Amino acid sequence: MKKLRLAIAGLTACSGCQLSLLNCEDELPELLENFEFHFFPMACSPALLTGRYDAALVEGCLSMPHEKVVLQELRRRSVYLIALGTCAICGGVAALRNGEERELLRQQVYGQHPVAAETFDPMPLQNVVQVDAAITGCPPEKQELLRMLAGLVRGVLPVSIDYPVCTECRMQENLCLLTERNMLCLGPLTMGGCGARCPSLAVPCEGCRGAVTEANLIEVLKIYAQKGFDRQSILERLHRFSPEWKQ
């Protein structure tokens, strides 16, 4: 069987999503039997965009003009473009200060030190190109990445998750941190797929996988209010990873 040709790129991000893939040590030999990691600057050199790709996996959001150029080139050369991680899907942590004056932000971070790169408000990939599929998480779960790659071998894109972390938490038969332990847990509003990793360890969900589609915010806020948590606190916490989410 002919190997699939992949491009894996990182834009404005911490590289954690790409590291999650590289951390699949046991599976890497088998992956190399099925994929040619042709463009992967973090792991392979030289990194040159040439020819066509069966899929491009892109981590991070857009915050600099040259990133738009790279993204559009990847889109042009790839059959599928997959957003990898929360930043690529909804802006993530990098977009927390969107709407504020960028020159002031630059001075707060760099002082008088000159910064050559022009920047703009960080934005998700879908604001610039068509995204065919997405794997959320900060970073994505290892098994999600492997399932996605296995699907590509069979010509199948990953299916979007439309249920909250609470669903998986109940499947794990965990005590509810919100209703039973009175902890500020964002599980009802956060996209599932992580296997309720944090709540299973009695750590409240922080919303790192982004907001679940069509969350029943009105009813959930009633439960939060009963536990003494106000609407503004909830939305501010959720916006740390999903700055563009509005309900």
Q: Can you give the CATH number for the domain in which 54 is found?
A: 3.40.50.700
CB 191 within 8 A of CB 140: no
pLDDT at 173: 95
Q: Per residue in 233-246, pLDDT tens?
A: 888 888 889 887 76
In a domain, 158, yes or no: no
Instruction: Report the chain's mean pLDDT, rounded to a whole number.
Output: 91
Q: Per residue in 70-120, pLDDT tens?
A: 999 999 999 999 999 999 999 999 888 888 888 888 888 878 777 767 889
Per this entry, what is the length of the chain?
247
Structural domain ending residue among the three candidates 126, 153, 180: 153
Same domain, 110 and 195: no
Count of CB atoms situated within 10 Å of the CB of 166: 25
217-226 and 231-238 are packed helices; what angle lies between their axes, rounded to 10 degrees? 120
- Measure the CA angle with vertex 199, ends 212 and 244; round to 5°: 30
Q: Per residue in 16-40, pLDDT tens?
A: 999 999 999 999 999 999 999 999 9
pLDDT band at 47 (very low <50, low <70, confident <90, very high): confident
How many independent structural domains does the chain possess?
2
pLDDT band at 175 (very low <50, low <70, confident <90, very high): very high
In the chain, which ranges are E strands? 4-10, 35-39, 53-59, 78-84, 133-135
